[in-house]
C-alpha cells in the first residue's frame, strides 16, 4: 500500500449531482415532499476513503416514522386500485432512471460505502434487472379457483397486496438491497416506508425516492426516513401499521426486528448474515477454483453476506491453492474507489476495520500464518490470505465481513461438508470439482439456501430465489417467492345453491 493509493481524490459535491433532489440530500421524503431537516439532528455521511463528510441527512425521529407509516397507509388503497400495467410502468421507469444515473450512483457508492467502479456497475445492473422482473409481478399476482367439498359452493382464492411494507436495509449493497424490496412491493400495490442504513442514506433510500418520484409514483406510496437504527429502529420494527417488515442486515439485529415485527402481527422477511464456504475438492480445476476464490473473497472488500468467509481446500491442493490465492491478493490495486483501476477500496468504518483486524490477529496468535496482506492503513485493509487455519479460529467461525481469505485443509468430502456446516449460518456456498455428480452430492449436503458449483457464492439473479436457513434468515426474496410475502390471500366462497345444514 502506498501513500499514492490513498490520495485525496475529491468527488463532485453530492448536492451537485444530477440525481440530487432540488433540496439537496439533507431531507426526508414524506408524502411526495422533500422535507428539509429543520431542527432535527444531523447524520454526517463520511467518505470512508478520505474520512471527510460529504453531506448530512436528517436524523429521523419516532414522530417521522409515525408520519411516514400514516402517509403510506393513507396512500396504499388507491395505489392498489391502479391498473397493474400502470404500476408496472412506473416500476420499470424507475429502473431505467437508475441506469441513466449510473455515473452519479458510482460517485455516491464510492463516497458512502467505499464501492469501486466494478461494484457500482454490478449493483446498478442488478437493480435494473430487479426492477424489470418486479414490474412483471404486477400482472402475475394471480388468485385461484378451487374445488369445493360442499355441494353448490364455489371457492375463490383472491390475492391482495399485503398493505404497508416496512423496509430496513444495510450499507453494503444499499441500492440493490432496498430496491429488491420496494420494486416488487410497489408493483404489487403495496406502499412502503424505508429506513436506510445511516452510512448510506442516499443510495439506500433517497436516490430511489428520487427515481420513483421522477417515474410518476403517486405521493405517499414510497417514504424514506433516514435515521439511526439504535434510535428509531425499535419504534420502526414494532410499528403497528405495516403488514410486512423486511429486514436485511446482521443476524443479531434481524432476530430483534423479527421478534418485534411478530409482536405487532407483521410478517418478518429476514435476510441476514452468512459464513459461506468455498469448497475445493481434490479433483477440482485449481485455476478455476482460485479465480473464483479471489473474486468471492475480495469483491467489495469482502463485505457481502454472500462473500466467501472460509476456503476449504483438499490437502493435496492446499499449498498450491494458498500460494496462488496469495499472489492474487497481493496483485489487487487498493486505494480510493474514485481512482481508475482501483479494485479494493476502504472498509466501511473503524469498528468494522477493528473487528476484521482483531480476527486476523487473534487467529495468527493461535497459529495461522499470513500469506498475503495482513496490514491496514486507515480504513484500507489489505486483501489477506491466511493458511494453517482451523475452523475454530476467530477468522473462520465468525462472519468476518472483510477482505480476508482463511484457508482450511480437509481430507475427505465428508469432512469438508462437516466443516462447511459447522456454523449457525446457512446462506450461500460453492463447491469445485471436475466430477459434477460428486460436486452435486456435496452441494446437496450443504445446509444453505444457495450453493454454486464451479463458481463462488457471490451470485444473485432477480428471477431466482435468494435467501438462507438458520441464522441467515427467514423467507426468500425475488420473483414468485417475494410475491408470496408481499401479498396476502383471501378465501371467498360463493354458495350458489341452498345448502343443507344439520339443523
Q: How far is CA 102 from CA 86, 99, 105, 120, 180, in A?
A: 25, 5, 5, 8, 17
- Residues of span 400-459 touching ligand NAD by CB under 6 A: 401, 427
Binding of residue 225 to ligand NAD (CB under 6 A):
no
H helices then E strands: how many in the chain? 15, 22
Least distance (Å) between residue 323 CB and ligand NAD: 29
Binding of residue 172 to ligand NAD (CB under 6 A):
yes
Binding of residue 269 to ligand NAD (CB under 6 A):
no
Least distance (Å) between residue 349 CB and ligand NAD: 9
Q: Are 100 and 94 in contact (CB under 8 A)?
A: no
SS (H, E, C) 199-229: CCCHHHHHHHHHHHHHHCCCCCCEEECCCCH
Binding of residue 22 to ligand NAD (CB under 6 A):
no
> Annotated catalytic residue: which of 271, 304, 371, 382?
271
* Residue among 19, 27, 113, 177 that touches ligand NAD (CB under 6 A): 177
C-alpha grid cell, residue 353 = 476495520
Active site residue 22: no
Binding of residue 290 to ligand NAD (CB under 6 A):
no
Piece of the chain touching ligand NAD by CB under 6 A; list 65-73, 268-276, 325-333, 435-443? 268-276
Q: Give the integer Cα–Cα distance in Å for 179 and 183.
A: 5
Q: Give the integer Cα–Cα distance in Å for 446 and 430.
A: 9
Q: Give the integer Cα–Cα distance in Å for 178 and 203.
A: 9
Nearer to ligand NAD, 233 or 409 (CB): 233
Q: Give the integer Cα–Cα distance in Å for 220 and 73.
A: 8
Binding of residue 271 to ligand NAD (CB under 6 A):
yes
Binding of residue 45 to ligand NAD (CB under 6 A):
no
Binding of residue 399 to ligand NAD (CB under 6 A):
yes
Piece of the chain touching ligand NAD by CB under 6 A; list 118-126, 151-159, 225-233, 291-299? 225-233
- Residues of span 314-373 touching ligand NAD by CB under 6 A: none
Binding of residue 76 to ligand NAD (CB under 6 A):
no
Q: Judging by beta carbons within 10 Å of its beta carbon (0-12, 13-18, 19+), is residue 395 exposed, middle or buried? A: buried
Q: Are 354 and 371 in contact (CB under 8 A)?
A: no
Nearer to ligand NAD, 111 or 113 (CB): 113
Nearer to ligand NAD, 180 or 328 (CB): 180
Binding of residue 112 to ligand NAD (CB under 6 A):
no
For the chain, state the CA radius of gyration: 24
Binding of residue 257 to ligand NAD (CB under 6 A):
yes
Binding of residue 171 to ligand NAD (CB under 6 A):
yes
Least distance (Å) between residue 220 CB and ligand NAD: 22
Site track for ligand NAD across 454-483, x = CB under 6 A: -------------------x----------
Least distance (Å) between residue 46 CB and ligand NAD: 15
Q: Give the integer Cα–Cα distance in Å for 405 and 244.
A: 36
Q: Give the integer Cα–Cα distance in Å for 302 and 196.
A: 21
Helix (H), strand (E) at residue 308: strand 308-314
Piece of the chain touching ligand NAD by CB under 6 A; list 22-30, 245-253, 360-368, 408-416? 245-253
DSSP 473: E
Binding of residue 230 to ligand NAD (CB under 6 A):
yes
Of 1, 14, 67, the residue nearest 38 (C-alpha): 67
Q: Are 458 and 305 in contact (CB under 8 A)?
A: no
Q: Give the integer Cα–Cα distance in Å for 437 and 78.
A: 52
- Residues of span 188-207 touching ligand NAD by CB under 6 A: 195, 197-198
Active site residues: 271
Interface residues with ligand NAD (CB under 6 A) are 168-173, 177, 195, 197-198, 229-230, 233-234, 236-237, 248-250, 253, 256-257, 271-274, 305, 399, 401, 427, 473
Amino acid at each position: 500500500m502506498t501513500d499514492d493509493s490513498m490520495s485525496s481524490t475529491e468527488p463532485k459535491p453530492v448536492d451537485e449531482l444530477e440525481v440530487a433532489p432540488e433540496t439537496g440530500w439533507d431531507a426526508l421524503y414524506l408524502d411526495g415532499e422533500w422535507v428539509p431537516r429543520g431542527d432535527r439532528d444531523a447524520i454526517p455521511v463520511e467518505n470512508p476513503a478520505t474520512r471527510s463528510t460529504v453531506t448530512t441527512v436528517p436524523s429521523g425521529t419516532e414522530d417521522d416514522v409515525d408520519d411516514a407509516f400514516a402517509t403510506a397507509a393513507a396512500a396504499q388503497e388507491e395505489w392498489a386500485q391502479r391498473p397493474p400495467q400502470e404500476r408496472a410502468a412506473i416500476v420499470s421507469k424507475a429502473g431505467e432512471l437508475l441506469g441513466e444515473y449510473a455515473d452519479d450512483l458510482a460517485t455516491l457508492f464510492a463516497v458512502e460505502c467505499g464501492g469501486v467502479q466494478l461494484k457500482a456497475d454490478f449493483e446498478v445492473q442488478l437493480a435494473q434487472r430487479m426492477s424489470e422482473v418486479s414490474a412483471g409481478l404486477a400482472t402475475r399476482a394471480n388468485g385461484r379457483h378451487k374445488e369445493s367439498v360442499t355441494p353448490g359452493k364455489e371457492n375463490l382464492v383472491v390475492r391482495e397486496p399485503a398493505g404497508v411494507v416496512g423496509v430496513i436495509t444495510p450499507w453494503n449493497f444499499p441500492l440493490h438491497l432496498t430496491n429488491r424490496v420496494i420494486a416488487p412491493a410497489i408493483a404489487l400495490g403495496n406502499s412502503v416506508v424505508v429506513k436506510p442504513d445511516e452510512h448510506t442514506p442516499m443510495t439506500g433510500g433517497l436516490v430511489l425516492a428520487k427515481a420513483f418520484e421522477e417515474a410518476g409514483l403517486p405521493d405517499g406510496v414510497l417514504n424514506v426516513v433516514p435515521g439511526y437504527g439504535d434510535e428509531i429502529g425499535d419504534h420502526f420494527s414494532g410499528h403497528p401499521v405495516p403488514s410486512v417488515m423486511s429486514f436485511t442486515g446482521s443476524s443479531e439485529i434481524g432476530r430483534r426486528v423479527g421478534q418485534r415485527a411478530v409482536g405487532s402481527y407483521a410478517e418478518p422477511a429476514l435476510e441476514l448474515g452468512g459464513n459461506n464456504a468455498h469448497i475445493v475438492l481434490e479433483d477440482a480445476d485449481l485455476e478455476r477454483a482460485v479465480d473464483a476464490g479471489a473474486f468471492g473473497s475480495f469483491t467489495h472488500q469482502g463485505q457481502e453476506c454472500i462473500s466467501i468467509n472460509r476456503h476449504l481446500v483438499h490437502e493435496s491442493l492446499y499449498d498450491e491453492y494458498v500460494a496462488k490465492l496469495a499472489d492474487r491478493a497481493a496483485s489487487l490495486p487498493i486505494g480510493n474507489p474514485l481512482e481508475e483501476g482501483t479494485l479494493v477500496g476502504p472498509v466501511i468504518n473503524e469498528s468494522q476495520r477493528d473487528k476484521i483486524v482483531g480476527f486476523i490477529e487473534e487467529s495468527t496468535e493461535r497459529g495461522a500464518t499470513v500469506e498475503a496482506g495482513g496490514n491496514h492503513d486507515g480504513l484500507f485493509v489489505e486483501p489477506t490470505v491466511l493458511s494453517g487455519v482451523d475452523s475454530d479460529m476467530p477468522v473462520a467461525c465468525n462472519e468476518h465481513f472483510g477482505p480476508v481469505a482463511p484457508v482450511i485443509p480437509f481430507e475427505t468430502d465428508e469432512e469438508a461438508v462437516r466443516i462447511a456446516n459447522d456454523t449457525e449460518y446457512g446462506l450461500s456456498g460453492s463447491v469445485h470439482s471436475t466430477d459434477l455428480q460428486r460436486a452435486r452430492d456435496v452441494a446437496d449436503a450443504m445446509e444453505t439456501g444457495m450453493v454454486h458449483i464451479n463458481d463462488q457464492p457471490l451470485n444473485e439473479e432477480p428471477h431466482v430465489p435468494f435467501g438462507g436457513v438458520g441464522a441467515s434468515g427467514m423467507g426468500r426474496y425475488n420473483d414468485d417467492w417475494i410475491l408470496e410475502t408481499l401479498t396476502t390471500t383471501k378465501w371467498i366462497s360463493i354458495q350458489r345453491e341452498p345448502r343443507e345444514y344439520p339443523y
